[in-house]
């Protein structure tokens, strides 16, 4: 049998090229490269801890009761003003004096008229007694006796009128001195010595007992949560804390704004003054709540979101999820909806994520865990 000649080098090269072509035609592709995470983040889970329930509100500082003080006389000149704005006063203290010379003369005239009326009454009584005696002896007529009795009645009426005039003159003389009706602090003064006053015009203003209160305006859903007696914390203009307590809550709402007022007493207002505007915290108490780090909450279009990590893999895709938040305190935030027990979420690096991003998860440092309320 004849032997076949070995293939030449050109034939071997053609065979190799043919094999490569056949392999490509069979659809064999090299494996794709592995996906690379776009960001490395830390993760955490919600924790439950006692959280202080607080309502933050704004309101004005006002006098608990402010009295407008004036006199009941008109056309009388002010002789002296004995107090200045800011002066503390006690009940019954003299605040202002009017020129009372005319009133003193009128009072003396009333006293003189009263003395005359008493003398006339004494004379009329004597005449009436004498007339009765003469009538019994038939020395005067009945008509004359009746006239003596009528004169007695007129004298008694004149005495009553004179006493009333005397009391009115003394009362007007008393109006010439303005006394403090209650203890407190003078908050305004609109009168000067030498000024001629008008009846009923405001001359001084008095903050009763020096007490101030904070009047905070709350929406209807918050107003119903505030009971009387809870603590209030304000900050004065000197940055010092001012503490108070809710005295009462308005029983009615403004029909236009749907808001109501909370009235809080400020026993020691510090640097706060009536008329100032202040922001405060109404402390409703403490309750257990689910919290997460503030860093984990991302706001998109004004709404709060977190990026949830499904499963426990080190490399995973994040899911953007809308949540509900409640009280914010320090570096923690209360979560009220959107997260369940055991849900993991991105913390550090959450602000750079988008829905569906592939991330690498590393253990969270101690500082990333939700911290307790700040003192």
pLDDT at 332: 87
Q: Could you write out the DSSP letters of every residue in 56-113?
A: EEEEEEEESSEEEE--S-SSEEEEEE---TT-EE-TT-EEEEE--HHHHHHHHHHHHH
Q: pLDDT by residue (tens digit) across 299-347?
A: 998 899 999 988 778 888 889 999 998 878 778 888 988 888 888 899 9
The two tokens of residue 267 are: 């026993």
Q: pLDDT by residue (tens digit) across 220-261?
A: 888 888 999 999 999 988 889 999 999 999 998 888 988 999
Tell me: pLDDT of 23 over 80.
no
With cut-offs at 50, 70 and 90, classify the pLDDT of residue 367: very low
CA 91 to chain centre: 29
Query: Residue 48 pairs with which residues in a beta bridge?
Result: 290
Q: What is the mean pLDDT of the chain?
A: 85
pLDDT at 349: 86
How far, in Å, CA of 363 to CA of 44, rounded? 8
pTM reported for the whole predicted model: 0.59
**CATH fold for the domain made of 39-52+288-367:** 2.40.420
Residue in the block written with tokens 């049998």: 1
The two tokens of residue 202 are: 């405001």
How far, in Å, CA of 75 to CA of 98, rounded? 10
**CATH class of the domain comprising 100-173:** mainly alpha
Question: Could you give phi then psi for residue 290, rounded to 5 degrees?
Answer: -85, 130
- What is the CATH number that goes with domain 56-65+211-286? 2.40.30.170
Q: Which helix (H) or strand (E) holds 229?
A: none
How far, in Å, CA of 68 to CA of 82, rounded? 17
- Distance, first Cα to last Cα, the chain: 106
CB 367 within 8 A of CB 54: no
CB 266 within 8 A of CB 242: yes
**CATH fold for the domain made of 66-98+176-210:** OB fold (Dihydrolipoamide Acetyltransferase, E2P) (2.40.50)
Spatial neighbors of 198 by CB under 8 A, at least 6 apart, are 74, 75
Tell me: pLDDT of 178 over 60.
yes
**Annotated domain spans of the chain:** 39-52+288-367, 56-65+211-286, 66-98+176-210, 100-173
DSSP 365: P
CB 269 within 8 A of CB 61: yes
The whole-number average pLDDT for the span 110-137 is 90
How far, in Å, CA of 358 to CA of 362, rounded? 13
**CB-CB neighbours of 285 under 10 Å:** 10
The closest alpha carbon to 177, from 99, 85, 89, belongs to 99
Grouping H, G, I as helix, E, B as strand and the rest as coil, residue 271 is coil
Tell me: pLDDT of 21 over 80.
no
């Amino acid at each position: 049998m004849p032997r076949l000649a070995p293939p030449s080098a050109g034939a071997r090269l053609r065979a190799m090229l043919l094999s490569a072509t056949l392999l490509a035609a069979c659809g064999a592709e090299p494996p794709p490269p592995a996906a690379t995470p776009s960001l490395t983040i830390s993760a955490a889970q919600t924790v439950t801890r006692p959280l202080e329930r607080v309502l933050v509100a704004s309101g004005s500082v006002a006098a608990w009761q402010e009295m407008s003080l004036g006199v009941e006389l008109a056309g009388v000149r002010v002789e002296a003003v004995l107090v200045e704005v800011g002066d503390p006063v006690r009940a019954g203290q003299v605040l202002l004096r009017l020129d009372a010379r005319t009133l003193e003369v009128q009072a003396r005239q009333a006293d003189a008229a009263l003395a005359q009326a008493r003398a006339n009454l004494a004379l009329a009584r004597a005449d009436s007694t004498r007339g009765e005696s003469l009538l019994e002896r038939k020395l005067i007529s009945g008509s004359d006796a009746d006239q003596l009795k009528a004169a007695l009645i007129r004298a008694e009426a004149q005495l009553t009128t004179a006493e009333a005039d005397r009391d009115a003159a003394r009362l007007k003389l008393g109006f010439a001195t303005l006394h403090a009706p209650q203890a407190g602090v003078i908050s305004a003064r609109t009168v000067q010595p030498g000024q001629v006053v008008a009846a009923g015009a405001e001359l001084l203003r008095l903050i009763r007992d020096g007490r101030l209160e904070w009047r905070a305006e709350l929406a209807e859903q918050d107003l119903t949560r505030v009971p009387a007696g809870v603590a209030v914390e304000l900050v004065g203009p000197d940055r010092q804390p001012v503490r108070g307590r809710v005295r009462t809550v308005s029983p009615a709402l403004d029909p236009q704004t749907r808001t109501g007022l909370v009235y809080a007493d400020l026993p020691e207002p510090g640097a706060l003054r009536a008329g100032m505007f202040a922001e405060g915290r109404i402390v409703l108490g403490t309750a257990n709540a689910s919290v997460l780090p503030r860093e984990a909450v991302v706001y998109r279009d004004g709404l709060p979101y977190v990026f949830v990590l499904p499963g426990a893999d080190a490399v995973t895709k994040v899911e953007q999820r809308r949540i509900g938040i409640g009280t914010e305190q320090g570096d923690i935030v209360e979560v009220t909806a959107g997260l369940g027990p055991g849900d993991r979420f991105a913390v550090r690096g959450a602000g750079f994520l988008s829905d569906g991003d592939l991330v690498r998860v590393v253990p969270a440092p101690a500082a990333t865990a939700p911290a307790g309320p700040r003192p």
